[in-house]
Amino acid sequence: MTAPVLDLRGLSVNYGGVFPAVIGVDLAVRPGEIVGIIGESGSGKSTLAHAALGLLPKVARVSGDRFMLAGNDMLTADRKTLASLRGPAAAMIFQNPMTAFSPVHTLGRQLRDLLWRDRHQTKAQKRERIVKALRDVGIPDPAGKLDAYPFQLSGGMLQRVAIAATLLMRPSLLIADEPTTALDVTMEAQILHLMRTLRDEAGVAILVISHHLGMIAEICDRVAVMYAGRIIEEGPVEAIFRSPGHPYTQALLDCEPALILPGIGRLPVIAGEVPRPGGRGCDFAGRCRHAEERCRCGAAPWQALRADPGHHARCHRSAS
């Protein structure tokens, strides 16, 4: 089996030594695979993504048994090594395109700076690559946009430019944090097609973080569900959406607008809030309608579900 581009074993992220944001995450993303991460805001999804690129603030402490990115040990890498890995090893489409670019430089200048490693290419060749990347993500008049400043483009167009920027770097791992939030339905379909092409033709490994369950179901091969800093369920995308093994996953699906039955009186919600990570017992017990005394007293085991190979959940009911 091909070695994972991203290989995490027991990865934890702690802020200031007192606040655990990610706890004991095991996750692998292999070349040519698209893995989705879903969960409510505050569950640790974006922290996990930033950890993979070494973009966490200085107060963050990363620990674990294994943290490998494109064959590099990220637990022992210094800042210079981390910086050298951003781009060729991993690149990220950030959630907010309005803050992804410098406001005082043209887009063409900033996109050219991403190609500084390609010293064998002329300025004309780099310009041609940039124009093609902008055209691939649906930017009208791509050559003309090279002289534009970020504030002259809409949020949706800036999101497309951000996606083009990651394509220019040809990463082994593409991390997409809510990549289609600012896009309309037509452009979203085009971007998803582009991501599939990257996976199929270039073998790029892709990690997608999103609240958009429909997009996750359409594009991903596997899905990991995060809650309170932990992965509480993981499996093939068909298995997760057909027969979720954790009550939290089921609750997320119940709240998906596309799955809500017409004529329903009240929109479904998950009562309560995501708790502080690292509590005793199951973190979802206080919000779960199936919770028992054992759920509040002890951590649930990571259990393989019989119906689908590769499908696991961290729940006492799944282990019964």
Range with the poorest average pLDDT among 48-57, 64-73, 115-124, 273-282: 273-282
Residue 245 lies in a domain: yes
Find the CATH number of the domain harbouring 19.
Answer: 3.40.50.300
**Region 121-140 average pLDDT:** 91
pTM of this prediction? 0.89
Q: How far apart are CA 300 and CA 154, in angstroms?
A: 46
Calculated CA dihedral for residues 77, 79, 80, 86, nearest 10 degrees:
90
pLDDT at residue 275 above 90?
A: no
pLDDT at residue 3 above 80?
A: yes
Instruction: Return the pLDDT at 146.
Output: 95
**Region 211-228 average pLDDT:** 93
Instruction: Return the pLDDT at 277.
Output: 73
Residue 143 lies in a domain: no
Residue 257 lies in a domain: yes
Residue 119 lies in a domain: no
Residue 84 pLDDT class (50, 70, 90 cuts):
confident
Burial of 20 (0-12, 13-18, 19+ CB in 10 A): buried
Q: Are 318 and 263 in contact (CB under 8 A)?
A: no
**Region 163-185 average pLDDT:** 86
Residue 244 pLDDT class (50, 70, 90 cuts):
very high
Range with the poorest average pLDDT among 91-100, 140-149, 172-181: 91-100
Instruction: Return the pLDDT at 217.
Output: 92
Q: How far apart are CA 277 and CA 230, in angstroms?
A: 8
**Residue 306: domain span:** 1-83+221-261+268-319
Residue 289 lies in a domain: yes
Give the highest mean pLDDT range of 86-95, 180-189, 223-232.
223-232
pLDDT at residue 279 above 80?
A: no
The set of residues, in sequence order, having a beta carbon less than 8 Å from that of 20 and lying 6+ positions away, is 12, 13, 14, 229, 277, 278
Residue 92 lies in a domain: no
pLDDT at residue 319 above 70?
A: no
What's the mean per-residue pLDDT of the chain?
A: 89
Q: How far apart are CA 268 and CA 271, in angstroms?
A: 9
Residue 159 pLDDT class (50, 70, 90 cuts):
confident
Range with the poorest average pLDDT among 6-10, 36-40, 136-140, 149-153: 136-140
**Region 86-110 average pLDDT:** 89
**Region 39-58 average pLDDT:** 90
pLDDT at residue 114 above 80?
A: yes
Residue 320 pLDDT class (50, 70, 90 cuts):
low
Tell me how many domains the chain contains.
Answer: 1
Residue 255: phi, psi to the nearest 5? -95, -5
Residue 192 pLDDT class (50, 70, 90 cuts):
confident
**Region 149-169 average pLDDT:** 89
Residue 94 lies in a domain: no
- CA of 278: how far to CAs of 196, 230, 233, 315, in Å? 36, 9, 17, 16
Residue 40 lies in a domain: yes
**Region 74-83 average pLDDT:** 89
pLDDT at residue 80 above 80?
A: yes
Please state, for a pLDDT cut of 70, what percent of the chain lies above it: 98
Closest CA to 107 of 176, 35, 72, 157: 157
Instruction: Return the pLDDT at 148.
Output: 95
